[in-house]
Amino acid sequence: MDGIEGGIAYAASKAAARMFTRCLGLEVARHGIRCNVVSPGSTDTAMLRALWSGEDPDEALSATLAGDPGAFRVGIPLGRVADPADIADAVVFLCSERARHITMHDLLVDGGATLRA
């Protein structure tokens, strides 16, 4: 989540997790320990559905995917909300030997919503 109204504590905790990961990663790298953080975007969870409470679920999903350019929200370029398995697959990858040279990284699993290209 990039800065949005009402999201102070949530955004601050995500920023803290990123910086904690970088600092811890520096301290333990000499022991061969890697530290990474996974930052999921909109994911089909109870938390997301609670944000949509009182709205038609199909309309809420469409609004999430489309974003709101007037509020500087781009939506989700890949056109879908993540499934929890998408996030779990990213974690499994980072824990695997295939990611053995990745450390102090913030892996965005958000369908392109943050536009960090």
What is the per-residue pLDDT across 28-69, written as a single tens digit (0 to 9) for each? Answer: 999 999 999 999 999 999 988 888 888 888 888 888 888 877
Q: How far apart are CA 117 and CA 114, in angstroms?
A: 9
Domain count, the chain: 1
The question of whether 10 is a catalytic residue gets the answer yes
Domain membership of residue 87 as a residue range: 8-109
Neighbours of 111 (CB within 10 A): 20
12 phi, psi to nearest 5 deg: -65, -40
The enclosing domain of 54 has a CATH number of 3.40.50.720
| 67 within some domain | yes
Q: Are 115 and 75 in contact (CB under 8 A)?
A: no
pLDDT value of position 72: 64
Task: Identify the active-site residue in 2, 4, 7, 10.
Answer: 10
